[in-house]
Structure 1
Amino acid sequence: MSGFDFTDKVMLVTGGAGGIGSALCRRFASGGAWCVVVDIDETRAKNVAAELPGAGHTGIGCDLMDGAQVERLFELVAEAHGRLDVLVNNVGMTSAERFDVRSVESIEREITLNLTSPLVATRIAIPLLKASRDARVVTTVSLGGIFPLGETPVYTASKFGLRGAMLAIGLDLRSKGILAGSVLPSATDTRMLRQEAVEGGNSMQFQDRPQQPADVVAAVLSLLDKPRLEAYPRPGESRLVRFAMLVPNLLPRLFPLFRKRGERGMARYLEDLRRRGLARRTDGRWELVEEV
């Protein structure tokens, strides 16, 4: 059980229609919060908001890479509530394309969404957060913010930067009445991970069985219950990657071992998706089966 009192809290979640985001919204709403579900897909955002327990929830479509839309997003929150108690920066993306063949535009887009947009959203939300008696900022980073994922360097760059920025923001805002922290999950069983798996993406993510969105929700709740700079859904994994980073020059020797284990893990995950009816193999290639 969470010790954090959700009752009548205004809680905004970006990427709110995704697997982790919607799970967070359901948990917040079940505790009595008013949820602002933000997603680039307005229809999905509204659908998630409509299905949440309780009343007073809002689904808003917003491209977080468009500054004008972000400004308008928080204007709507101000008009409806006059404050924001909890901001959850949860939006993110990745790509299975290797660095040496990616377009410059795709690199810029991923950096902008994963790194710049959470910083901009947090900055614009400051006045609304200051209007709260117990303001919080929680950001979904990744263990990729500690350990370099060799097959997805742009994702790694964005998450390394986001982790560092949020550590600094947490230190800076604490004296101003806003508590900020981050959760650093490993691979999580969401549509984004499934898409990466069928596209033959980052095998480094599959060292162990992917965790569930509920595991990330639990880590977020732990941050709300006990504010601190970072929380890890799987503490054992976090200790392993942090230890590995003490000797980064050994990574070229370690990576082949990690990659082989990851490739086996990804194959098992794809078979699990097939058994669950979420993926199929057609003409030797994997593809997702769209959920109804």
Structure 2
Amino acid sequence: MTTSATARVALITGGAGGIGRAICRGLIERGIQCVLADRDQAALDRATMELGPSATGVAIDLTDFNKLPDLLALVQERYGRLDILINNAAITGTGHFEERSVENILGELNINLLSPIVLTRLAFPALQRVGDGRVINTVSLGGIFPLPETGIYSATKFGLRGAMLCLGMDAERHGIKIGSVMPSATETPMLMREAIEGGNTLQFMDPPQQPEDVARQVMRMLDSPCLERYPRISESWTVRLAMLVPNMLPRLIPLFRKKGLRGHARYLESLRRRGLVQVRAGKWELS
């Protein structure tokens, strides 16, 4: 089965999650066929039912690099083209670095950093054939500003940002427009789990943005390609200014942490009021 020659096709990793679904909705409104790649089959089923016939789900472990060529072959077999690759899938671990297993660390590195780089490389031929291929990455302000207790996540996002900036600056040579969206904390199930499991409170200094805020920047990236876009410009200036004096971070972080603790408490209460979390046996848990 193939679509018409004029219909664009997008492959979105982590497409069944909150940000992934919001991006897909924006793409589908533009008449773009969406292939959602995610490891959670049940979430894929819910997402494709919600999004309708313009969305196709593919269950895949993106850390199994041997399966990535098969994913791209499936897109070619079904649609005959690939116009847009959205590297959106990501995870974050909780707990102290010295307590995390090596397997856990490698899993985070693979899904957040190695998988999008490998998938981008494998997708290059298909993206070059369409003449206006795009790669858009969901990175993070964590790729600019390091936060305590997020060393592996920051490493993956610093690395992904750097790789995609380099590739984006080579666009004249390879012919593919590459850019990244740099959100701060965004209300997704992953963030909710972090909130109740002791994730870094610094990310709650301001109320989390919504997946639709990130998706709007992806749509802007399609309309006006550039290397980076930020859902909240003010936050981008704050973190970049702080990084001008990295040796001051040990003094700045305690000030930020106080604000983050207050924001974390407000966010937990907001989740409770909305029925998204509850306290059971003295512990927070998702409803």
Shorter-chain TM-score bucket reads over 0.9
Aligned twin of 2:68: 70
Aligned twin of 1:144: 142
The residue type equivalent to 2:154 in the other structure is T
Q: Deviations over 1:15-43 (max 9, x none)?
A: 00000001111111122111101101133
Correspondent of 1:229 among 203, 227, 230: 227
Larger CA deviation: 95-104 vs 273-282:
95-104
Correspondent of 2:190 among 189, 192, 197: 192
Q: Deviations over 1:136-172 (max 9, x none)?
A: 0000000000000112111011111111011011112
2:264 aligned with 1:266 = yes
The residue type equivalent to 1:24 in the other structure is I
Q: Is the 8 A contact 1:278 1:288 kept in 2?
A: yes
Aligned residue-pair number: 282
Aligned twin of 1:210: 208
3-state SS of paired residue (2:174)? coil
The equivalences for 1:243-282 within 5 A come to 243-282=241-280
2:19 aligned with 1:29 = no
Aligned twin of 1:121: 119
Q: How big is the shift at 1:44? A: 2.3
* TM-score for the superposition, normalised by structure 1: 0.94
2:92 aligned with 1:94 = yes
Aligned twin of 2:238: 240
3-state SS of paired residue (2:90)? coil
Q: How big is the shift at 1:247? A: 0.1
Structure 1: distance between partners of 2:65 and 2:151:
26
Larger CA deviation: 99-108 vs 207-216:
99-108
Structure 1: distance between partners of 2:267 and 2:94:
16
Q: How big is the shift at 1:220? A: 0.8
3-state SS of paired residue (2:36)? strand
Larger CA deviation: 115-124 vs 165-174:
165-174
Q: Is the 8 A contact 2:202 2:256 kept in 1?
A: yes
| 1:56 to 1:286, Cα distance in 2 relative to 1, 3 A | closer
| 1:162 to 1:282, Cα distance in 2 relative to 1, 3 A | same
3-state SS of paired residue (1:175)? helix
Q: Is the 8 A contact 1:145 1:163 kept in 2?
A: yes
The residue type equivalent to 1:261 in the other structure is K
2:13 aligned with 1:19 = no
2:66 aligned with 1:43 = no
The residue type equivalent to 2:217 in the other structure is A
The residue type equivalent to 1:140 in the other structure is T
Aligned twin of 1:180: 178
Structure 1: distance between partners of 2:93 and 2:105:
9
Q: Is the 8 A contact 1:13 1:38 kept in 2?
A: yes
Structure 1: distance between partners of 2:259 and 2:25:
34
Structure 1: distance between partners of 2:122 and 2:110:
16
| 1:49 to 1:133, Cα distance in 2 relative to 1, 3 A | farther
Aligned twin of 2:110: 112
Q: How big is the shift at 1:56? A: 4.4
Structure 1: distance between partners of 2:62 and 2:123:
13
Correspondent of 1:61 among 51, 59, 72: 59
The residue type equivalent to 1:51 in the other structure is E
* TM-score for the superposition, normalised by structure 2: 0.95
3-state SS of paired residue (1:88)? strand
In structure 1, the gaps of 5 or more residues are 1-6
Aligned twin of 1:219: 217
Structure 2: distance between partners of 1:235 and 1:95:
27
Q: Is the 8 A contact 1:174 1:180 kept in 2?
A: no
Query: Cα RMSD between the aligned structures?
Result: 1.2
Aligned twin of 1:4: none
3-state SS of paired residue (1:269)? helix
